[in-house]
Amino acid sequence: MCGIVGLFLKSPALEPQLGAMLADMLEVMTGRGPDSAGFAVYGAGDPGRLKLTLRGGDLTMIAQALGDVASAEVRDTHMVLSVPRQDEERVRAWLAANRPDVVVTGAGQRIELYKEVGLPAQVARRFGLDSMSGTHGIGHTRMATESAVTTDGAHPFSTGQDQCLVHNGSLSNHRSLRRMLEPQGIRFATDNDSEVAAGYLTWKMREGASLAQALEASLDDLDGFFTFVVGTESGFAVLRDPISCKPAVMAETDDYVAFGSEYRALAGLPGIEGARVFEPEPARVYAWERH
Amino acid sequence: MAVVDLARTSRRELNRALHDLPADTNETLWRVENPAGQHALAAGLNAPVTVEIAGHAGYYCGGMNQRATIVVEGNAGVGVAENMMSGKVHVRGDASQSAGATAHGGLLVIDGNASARCGISMKGVDIVVKGSIGPMSAFMAQSGKLVVLGDAGDALGNSIYEARLYVRGAVKSLGADCIEKELRDEHRAELRGLLDAAGIGDEVSVDQFRRYGSARTLYNFHVDNAAAY
């Protein structure tokens, strides 16, 4: 069991509240996943700069060492490093050489990605989710069934710039998919099956597919149980496996599209009383794009 | 009327109060406010009372119900009225998966749509869905009746035993051992009775429905199939 939440804002007026709304949704899903939690928020971004979310100890030392190129914001065990695009390789090389212990959890123009072991409310509080603003965000509460309770095993997973995925379910052909994807240059940081699903979508989109097309293709290539919620720089999408093994409910208003594993997660959203509440159909891609 | 506000009272307290009602209680009308999708609301009742849930319910609402009437004014989550024995559960909105699962008796009415596996393993319940139902509905249905005014998804009635299925709209596909059957007068009468019980008037004619049920070819072991085991 796991809990998934997602929020895609149509109304800019709600953007300052995105984090607070997402934090409440995440906390309600504690019963579905008390082991660990994570979330990705698509906030402000500059086309000329890249945001790298890093996880590890003594992060201020990195900020100081890279101070000539990067600006940094530390949040508990994570730090968002903003670097000019042209310095990306240099910064990554420096990290690999000097701080191989540090994990890059996400990278992109706008994505920030945080995950930790612990109760969802504590995780959200440690990172200050409730004060974050953004256009869309995705969160996950984990109840580990297939692998250990570690930060590495927590979602979301990001395998491409400004892309992330959360998953409720389990994939049975992730080993063979991984063997297919690695020679294509898709890199994986963990042994987790959900990361392979993220990598699959990254590969499809790199080959020219839209987010919706990539998910459509995954119905043929992924074997197992899944409810996915996926974010890109401008997009937000939902897909359930063909027998809808895992729960999902959505709400749409003029102001937002919201996803929850259960309706409870959506119950506190503004204007939920008037929302169109529906259950996404199995094997059907639901996708929204910002214009 | 007893009013319980779940913003202030716990769901456990609500259910305990409902469970403690004697069969001859005078407190026959209950209203539950701010349900906020909580699970197991009004589950396990065994008294002839009416419980109105003023909003959306979570999982297993009205589960194991006996004798009570439970009205969900919004949507219901997974397993509404699962294992109901008698009484009535009425969902004014949509129902999630496995509505009426394994239920032995009573009447489940859903004004909106029901998603996948509606009536899975039903054992005698009557289910009337005014909208459409999702895939794999009435899977291994054993007894009872399922009436659908809208459409049915893939694999309707897969491995069905003796339940009777009446669908007015399109059936995307039939599951293994489920076939269309003749709608005879006895079925028209039965169907009319179910529509009446669900508050559906003569504007819906029984002749708009088609009947589905078991081909009864999966009932017995055939030695010819031995290699498949």
- Does the distance separating the beta carbons of A278 and B116 come in below 8 Å? no
List of chain A residues whose C-beta atoms are within 8 Å of the C-beta of residue B93: 277
Query: B38 at the A interface (CB within 8 A)?
Result: yes
Q: Are B56 and A244 an interchain contact pair (Cβ–Cβ within 8 Å)? A: no
Q: Which two tokens stand for residue A133?
A: 């603003």
User: A282 CB near a chain B CB, below 8 Å?
Assistant: yes
Answer whether A109's CB lies under 8 Å from A3's CB: no
Q: Is A207 on the interface with B (CB under 8 A)?
A: no
Query: Cβ–Cβ of B59/A249 closer than 8 Å?
Result: no
What is the tens place of the pLDDT at every residue in A200-241? Answer: 999 999 999 999 999 999 999 999 999 999 999 999 999 999
Decide if B97 and A247 are in contact by the 8 Å CB cutoff. Answer: yes
Percent of chain B with pLDDT over 90: 94
Distance from CA of A113 to the nearest CA of B (A): 29
End-to-end CA distance of chain A: 35
Task: Answer whether the bond into residue A156 is a cis peptide, omega within 30°.
Answer: yes
Give the pLDDT score at A148: 83
Q: Is B135 on the interface with A (CB under 8 A)?
A: yes
Tell me whether B93 touches chain A (CB under 8 Å).
yes
The whole-number pLDDT of residue A50 equals 97
Residues from chain A that touch B77, judged by Cβ atoms under 8 A, are 247, 249, 262-263
At B227 the pLDDT is: 76
Alpha-carbon gap, residue A224 to A204, rounded angstroms: 19
Average pLDDT score, chain A: 96
Determine the residue among B97, B118, B129 to mutate to test chain A binding: the one whose Cβ has the most chain A Cβ atoms within 10 Å: B97
Residues B114, B129 contacting (CB under 8 angstroms): yes
Q: For A128-132, A244-248, B16-20, which range has the lowest pLDDT when averaged over its residues?
A: A244-248
**So which residues of A are the catalytic ones?**
2
pLDDT digits (tens, 9 = 90+) for B61-97: 999 999 999 999 999 999 999 999 999 999 999 999 9
Task: Give the pLDDT of residue B218.
Answer: 84
**Touching check for A278 and chain B: CB below 8 Å?**
yes
Of A244, A264, A266, the CB nearest to B116: A244
The answer to whether the CB of A231 falls within 8 A of the CB of A112 is: no
- pLDDT of A291 higher than 80: no
Q: What is the pLDDT of residue A69?
A: 87
Contact A230, A165 (CB under 8 A): yes
Residue A283: Cβ within 10 Å count: 15
Nearest CA in chain B to A244: B116
Model confidence pLDDT, tens digit, residues B161-178: 999 999 999 999 999 999
Mean pLDDT across A272-290: 94
Say yes or no: B56 contacts chain A, CB-CB below 8 A.
yes
Task: Say which of B77, B94, B135 has its CB closest to residue A262.
Answer: B77
A-chain CB neighbours of B135 within 8 Å are 243-244, 282
Q: Is the pLDDT of residue A91 over 80?
A: yes
- Nearest CB to A263; choose among B37, B97, B115: B37
Q: Which residues, including other chains, have CB under 8 Å from residue A120's CB and lie 6 or more apart?
A: A3, A26, A27, A29, A30, A33, A34, A37, A139, A141
Give residue B229's pLDDT band: very low, low, confident or very high (50, 70, 90): low
Give residue B228's pLDDT: 67
Q: Are B45 and B26 in contact (CB under 8 A)?
A: no
Closest chain A residue by Cα to residue B95: A279
Chain A residue numbers touching B92 (CB-CB < 8 A): none
Contact at CB, A263 and B58, closer than 8 angstroms? yes
A-chain CB neighbours of B39 within 8 Å are 264
Instruction: Give the pairing type, strands B178-181 and B210-214.
Output: antiparallel
Q: How confident is the model at residue B220 (pLDDT cuts 50, 70, 90)?
A: confident
Contact B58 A266 (CB under 8 A): no
pLDDT at A147 over 80: no
**Interface touch B59/A262, C-beta < 8 Å:** yes
Specify the DSSP element, H or E, that contains B12. helix B11-19
Helix (H) or strand (E) holding B15: helix B11-19
Shortest CA gap B111–chain A (Å) = 14
Output the average pLDDT for chain B: 96
DSSP output for chain A: -EEEEEEEES-GGGGGGHHHHHHHHHHHGGGG--SEEEEEEE----TTEEEEEEESS-HHHHHHHTTTT-EEEEETTEEEEEEEGGGHHHHHHHHHHH-TT-EEEEEESSEEEEEEES-HHHHHHHHTGGG---SEEEEEEE--SSS---TTTSSPB--STT-EEEEEEEESSHHHHHHHHGGGT---SSS-HHHHHHHHHHHHHHTT--HHHHHHHHHHH--EEEEEEEE-SSEEEEEE-TT--S--EEEE-SSEEEEESSGGGGTTSTTGGGSEEE-PPTT--EEEE--
* Interchain contact A244–B (C-beta under 8 A): yes
Show which of residues 142-161 on chain A sit within 8 Å of chain B, judged by CB atoms.
none
Contact between residue B93 and residue B75 where contact means Cβ atoms under 8 Å apart: yes
How many Å lie between the alpha carbon of B217 and the closest alpha carbon of chain A?
25
Amino acid of residue A125: R
Of A264, A278, A279, the CB nearest to B58: A264
For residue B12, give how far its alpha carbon lies from the nearest alpha carbon of chain A (Å): 16
